[in-house]
Amino acid sequence: MIMKIHRAYKFRLYPTKEQVVYIRKTFGCTRFVYNYCLDLKRKNKYLTKFDLMKELPKLKKEYPFLREVDSSSLQNTITDLMVGFSKQENNQGGYPKFKKKGEKESFRTNFITSSYKDRVYENIKVDLVRKVIELPKLKEIKIRGYRTLDKLPGRILNATVKEVGTKFYVSLCIEEELELPEKVTNKAVGIDIGVKNLVVTSNKEYYGNPRYLDKYERKIKRLQQELSRKVKGSKNYIKNKKKIEEVYRKLKNARKKTVEKIVSNITRNHDIIIAENLQVKKMLVHNNNHKHLRKEITNATFSEIIRILKYKCLWLNKIFIQISPYYASSQICSRCENKDTVMKDLRIREYRCSKCGLEIDRDYNASINILNEGLKCYND
């Protein structure tokens, strides 16, 4: 079975002075369109992505400088804005803010290919032997990175150009084909459960940690501090304790709702769901965070995800597999299976393979490993 996955390959860019001018011009134009559309959305929250896209031709007429940059980068900035709004609606982020010059400057260009009279035209071209990239409206730019690769391992989907400090980078999103063991015919998914994102799947779906969980945690902490100052058994003490129980109850309900939503999304599209055994992960959370309340809430969330997954899979006649707690899903490279032992620090978000040079989101890498490991167990 062949599975398609998306991975990012990040290169350092070495643009010439003229290229820097164009790159910064594109930053400016995408920021302009983003802020313009955000302003429209603030005035009318019912505007859809399609409505905003329709503004682009009008805008280009009114502000001709917008025509000087790659048009897909302008469309992508509208997509990003709409993603921001849907995250906010799902309690995974705040209300989108206006972009300021010099703050997280970036633009994303889509890969386009066409052919004309037997000649194939591609708007993004990478030559890893000569170490150059060609981007729309820019001629070749020197790049550095992935010395061991002589060719990208898949199809380019898009390129994101970023300026960080005084340095420029390009991140290429590549669609790769991954071969899975033959026996499996049903759709399988690996899921990584964690603190930063509640769940990351091997299909690259991210389910963030909703903000209200933090809000309840802060509330409980505050009430517990108040409780410690009160006389045990007094009227106020009992009242305060009841309040704490009430917030715990709200937290529990909110968590259950969130987890149920995630689980039904995952079970809807897959027949085999593979997760980790969380014993080791719980210990890691313990080691990295000495705050008792945070530990307790995180562990309860982890357990809830597994509990509802098990229950739902049983109910829907799906297969649920939990892999060995000793399988080091976060330390193994999902491409070459090399094991790097330095990945224990949960603050490092990126997995870097010392053997093949793969750079990939830590949790996403783990989810692919979990999928592969689970399928091995399933086929044995």
CB of 355 to Zn ion, least distance (A): 5
Q: Counting contacts by CB under 5 A, is residue 354 touching Zn ion?
A: no
Q: What's the rounded Cα separation, in Å, for the pair 9 and 352?
A: 11
Strand locations in the chain (E):
2-14, 106-110, 113-116, 119-122, 125-127, 132-134, 140-144, 155-164, 167-179, 188-193, 197-201, 206-208, 272-275, 319-322, 350-352, 359-361
User: Which CB, 192 or 217, lies closer to Zn ion?
Assistant: 192
DSSP string, 211-248: HHHHHHHHHHHHHHHHHHTSPTTSHHHHHHHHHHHHHH
CB of 3 to Zn ion, least distance (A): 18
CB of 91 to Zn ion, least distance (A): 36
User: Which CB, 103 or 179, lies closer to Zn ion?
Assistant: 179
Residues whose CB is less than 8 angstroms from the CB of residue 90 and which lie 6 or more positions away in sequence, other chains included: 210
CB of 179 to Zn ion, least distance (A): 16
Site for Zn ion in 314-353 (CB under 5 A): 333, 335-336, 338, 353
The single residue among 136, 319, 356, 359 that binds Zn ion, judged by CB under 5 A, is 356
Q: Counting contacts by CB under 5 A, is residue 191 touching Zn ion?
A: no
User: Which CB, 37 or 360, lies closer to Zn ion?
Assistant: 360
- Angle 370-374-380 (CA atoms, 0-180°, nearest 5)? 150
User: Which CB, 126 or 368, lies closer to Zn ion?
Assistant: 368
Q: Counting contacts by CB under 5 A, is residue 148 touching Zn ion?
A: no
Q: Counting contacts by CB under 5 A, is residue 368 touching Zn ion?
A: no
Residues whose CB is less than 8 angstroms from the CB of residue 194 and which lie 6 or more positions away in sequence, other chains included: 200, 281, 363
The single residue among 74, 172, 313, 358 that binds Zn ion, judged by CB under 5 A, is 358
Q: What's the rounded Cα separation, in Å, for the pair 263 and 273?
A: 10
User: Which CB, 297 or 368, lies closer to Zn ion?
Assistant: 368
Which of these, 18, 83, 25, lies nearest to 52 by C-alpha position?
Answer: 83
Site for Zn ion in 238-267 (CB under 5 A): none
User: Which CB, 3 or 138, lies closer to Zn ion?
Assistant: 3
Q: What's the rounded Cα separation, in Å, for the pair 367 and 334?
A: 9
User: Which CB, 199 or 360, lies closer to Zn ion?
Assistant: 360
Q: Counting contacts by CB under 5 A, is residue 126 touching Zn ion?
A: no
Number of residues this chain uses to bind Zn ion (CB under 5 A) = 8
Identify the three-state secondary structure at position 200.
Answer: strand
Residues in contact with Zn ion by CB under 5 A are 333, 335-336, 338, 353, 355-356, 358
